[in-house]
Amino acid sequence: MIEVRFHGRGGQGAVIASNILAEAGFLEGKEVAAFPFFGVERRGAPVTAYTRIAEQKIRIKSGIYEPDFVVVLDPSLLKAVNVADGLKPGGLVLINSKVSPDKLRAELGLADDKKLATVNATEIAIKHRLGSKAAPIVNSALLGAFAKTSGVVQIDSLIQGVKKNVPIKIEENAAAAQEAYDSVVIH
């Protein structure tokens, strides 16, 4: 079973991202579950959401504390939340950031046995006019980057999941996912 934790801020689409990833796994015939941790929802507040993907029926209903993957939608969260908390040895953190990987590694205190990947999802989202320049919606781009760096789902099923779940700008979201898939870098 693969467990993924998304960190975002209210309004950025972390919860929908966790659902789209589940949908993509489902389209590949896998068992899936996705859920948010809800405080009382507010735009801008830190939000976490989770996805499980497995070959067997998923019976566990408790939270995810030791994820295989962490996806960070908003780089400003690194100052507020320990996003790498509980990450499994060999796990990967994928961050929407244009900061150099060495600096990020130091900021996260990321051990050498953990992988780091970055993608400039903000720039990709703005280019495809997703959200506003001040508050771009970066979830589709990060999911595309996740498909590439994790190998957990295929980009085709991921894009199908995006198309099924985003309410507007369907083609733009799909294009953002593809562009991030092509441009993400594992350091």
Partner 1 sequence: MKMVMTGNYASAYGSKVCRAEVVSAYPITPQTSVVEKIASLVASGEMDAQFVKVESEHSAMATLIAASLTGARTYTATSSHGLLLMHELLIWAAGARTPIVMSNVCRANGPPWSVWADHHDAMAQRDTGWMQVFCEGNQEVIDSIIMSYKLAEREDIRLPAMINEDAFILSHTVEPVDVPDMEEVDAFLPSYNPRFKLDTDEPYGFGSLVMPEMYMEFRFKINEAMEAARQGWRDVEKDFEKHFGRNHGGMIEFYQCEDADAVLLIAGSVASTAKDVVDKLRSEGKKVGLARMRVYRPFPVEEIRKLANMTNIIGICDRSYTFGHWGPMAQEVRGALYGQTDIPILKNYIMGLGGKDITPEILEKIFLKTLGLTEGLDTEIEWIGVKGHGGW
Residues ≥6 apart with Cβ < 8 Å to 86: 65, 66, 67
Residues ≥6 apart with Cβ < 8 Å to 140: 13, 17, 20, 125, 130, 162, 166, 173, 174, 176, 177, 180
Taking the least distance from each CB to partner 1, the nearer of 10 and 35 is 35
Taking the least distance from each CB to partner 1, the nearer of 165 and 173 is 165
- In this structure, are residues 53 and 22 in contact, taking their beta carbons and an 8 Å threshold? yes
| Interface with partner 1 (CB under 8 A) | 19, 22-23, 26, 31-38, 40, 58-63, 65
Q: What's the closest the beta carbon of residue 58 comes to partner 1, in angstroms? A: 7
Q: What's the closest the beta carbon of residue 90 comes to partner 1, in angstroms? A: 21
| Whole-angstrom distance, CA of residue 14 vs CA of residue 85 | 18
Taking the least distance from each CB to partner 1, the nearer of 44 and 63 is 63
Q: What's the closest the beta carbon of residue 51 comes to partner 1, in angstroms? A: 9
CA distances in angstroms from 187 to 27, 43, 69, 87, 88, listed in the order given: 30, 32, 15, 17, 17
Q: What's the closest the beta carbon of residue 86 comes to partner 1, in angstroms? A: 12
| Structure-token pair, residue 5 | 């934790």
How many CA within 13 A on the CB side of residue 46? 13
Taking the least distance from each CB to partner 1, the nearer of 33 and 93 is 33
Taking the least distance from each CB to partner 1, the nearer of 19 and 97 is 19
Q: What's the closest the beta carbon of residue 9 comes to partner 1, in angstroms? A: 18
